[in-house]
Amino acid sequence: MGIPTEAIGSIPRPPELIEAVARRGSTDAPELEPLYQAAVKETIERFEATGSPVITDGEQRKYHNFWDYSVHGLPNMAADGFRIPFAAGHTRRMPRLVRGPFRYRIHGDQFLAEALRHATRPVKQAVISPSALSLLYPAEELPGYPREQFVEDLLAEHVGEVRRCLEKGAHAVQVDFTEARLAVKIDPTGSLLTSFVDLNNIAFSRFTADERRRLGVHTCPGGDRDSTHSADVDYADLLPSLLQLNVTNFYVALAGERDRRRVLSLVRDHLRPGQRVFVGVIAPIDPRIETPEEVRDRTLEAAEFIPLEQLGTTDDCGFSPFSDDTSTSRDVAFAKIAARVRGTALAASALGVA
């Protein structure tokens, strides 16, 4: 039995890969291919060495970030899109669609196929949410390409990406919904969040019940250069809506919260039968490596609120969602993952479900 434990996804890229991309000023130069291949292979080997029962490819090929990997480099994208301001004072900027039609340039199942060639353990694939990519469409309607058509094209691309991941053997597909908490910050009325949830639920409605059991969503306050974009947003304004998403698995950042017990009580109050919540027990933006005993205690705390059959553990966020982020080393990331795996096992043993 035990308590399931999974990572969110990204692992810091090897320094030589980051440096090579910076020198060339391109993420697609042919000479980078051996570096990408080596990064994926080594990441999977080190992931499996942590004892993690489920692994990822560390998003090594998601240049340049987890948000726009599918459209980066397309000729119908401009660089001056949606801004994401972080508490540390820096800003990340997403692309802007300048003309239709909307199509992905690369799909997550392509990353998965490569990972499966190296992995000996189940592989999870993270993909970006339709709601995040909906922000690519500008406020003013594009000539000859109305928003309604864009949304249909977006949903078709997303659903196709997820379904191919499932068909190729993904253990699970995680939909990154990190803009959920940010949506509340942008629009405290909740209307933007509601529209995001509705859009994502339209996508989830296109899957069967069996498929949805292998789907999940991830929420966090962002993570970049040891900083967040929406940690000041109260979970009470997010969780009731989040748990209305029609999927089985929820990956909820918790380790970095000031009042974890209050958040856990909110989860308990809104959790529905058949849902599983993977609570964050590792804080990727904290440079200190948690001990297995700390992870055990955080997991036992969560078990006071969440039924064991609905409980899992995870990291609050990926360790490097933006590929040029060097604030956390690969060694630290894998040490934190190993602590999560060992600490979750300790908690399972203490609860008699090991």
Q: Is residue 7 situated within a structural domain?
A: no
Instruction: Give CA 44 to chain center in angstroms.
Output: 17
Report if residue 6 sits inside a domain: no
* pTM for the full predicted model: 0.94
* pLDDT single digits (tens) 35-88: 999 999 999 999 999 999 999 999 999 877 888 999 998 999 999 988 887 877
What's the confidence (pLDDT) of residue 225?
Answer: 77
Strand partners, 276: 249
In a domain, residue 162? The reply is yes
Q: Is 2 part of any domain? A: no
pLDDT category at 145 given cuts 50, 70, 90 is: very high
- The percentage of residues in the chain with a pLDDT greater than 90, rounded to a whole number, is 81
CA angle in degrees (0–180, nearest 5) for 154-114-175: 35
Which domain covers residue 127, as residue numbers? 15-350
Token pair 């955080």: residue: 298
- Supply 297's token pair: 């205690």
Using the CB atoms, write b or e for 98-116: b if 16+ within 10 Å.
Answer: bebebebebbbbebbbbbb
Task: Supply the mean pLDDT for the chain.
Answer: 94
Structural domain tally of the chain? 1
In this structure, is residue 232 part of a structural domain? yes
Can you say how many angstroms the Cα of residue 125 is from the centroid of all Cα atoms in its chain? 9
Other CB atoms within 10 A of residue 273 CB = 6
Q: Does pLDDT of 1 surpass 70?
A: no
Least confident of 227-236, 240-249, 332-341: 227-236
What per-residue confidence (pLDDT) applies to 93?
Answer: 87
The reply to whether 164 falls in a domain is yes
Instruction: Find the Cα–Cα–Cα–Cα dihedral 151, 91, 216, 104, rounded to 10°.
Output: 40
For 137-200, give the DSSP string.
S-SSPBTTB-HHHHHHHHHHHHHHHHHHHHHTT-SEEEEE-THHHHHHHH-TTSHHHHHHHHHH
Say if strands 91-93 and 172-176 run parallel, antiparallel, or are unpaired. unpaired
Whether 3 maps to a domain, the answer reads: no
In degrees and rounded to multiples of 5, residue 155 shows phi and psi of -60, -40
Instruction: Measure Cα distances from 9 to 35, 143, 279 in Å.
Output: 19, 37, 15
Confidence of residue 196 (pLDDT cuts 50, 70, 90): very high
Share of the chain above pLDDT 70, in %: 99
Could you read off the pLDDT of 263-322 as tens digits, one per residue?
A: 999 999 999 999 999 999 999 999 999 999 999 999 999 999 999 999 999 999 999 888
Q: What's 134's domain CATH number? A: 3.20.20.210
- Count of beta carbons in the 10 Å neighbourhood of residue 1: 10
Judge whether 5 lies within some domain. no
Where is pLDDT greater, at 222 or 35?
A: 35
